[in-house]
Amino acid sequence: MTLLILSVLFFAFLAKDIAVPAMILTLLAAMRSLGLADMRMLRMKGMSR
């Protein structure tokens, strides 16, 4: 029983770890396709990371 709860928590943590960068990448791709984000903004974000 405890193992089941731990595995569920572990997979939830992994999913959160994967979902957040995926959402950020999706938002960036959507903004770039709309033309709101130019390469200068993306380059600044890449430098600050």
What pLDDT, on the 0 to 100 scale, is given for residue 27? 83
pLDDT at 43: 67
Q: What is the pTM of this model?
A: 0.40
* 3 state SS for the chain: CHHHHHHHHHHHHHHHHHHHHHHHHHHHHHHHHHCCCCHHHHHHHHHHC
Which residue matches tokens 């959507």? 30
Give the model confidence (pLDDT) of 10-45 as tens digits: 888 888 878 888 888 888 888 777 765 566 666 666
Nearest-angstrom CA–CA distance, 30 and 6: 36
What are the tokens at 11?
């997979």
Sequence ranges of the domains in the chain: 2-48
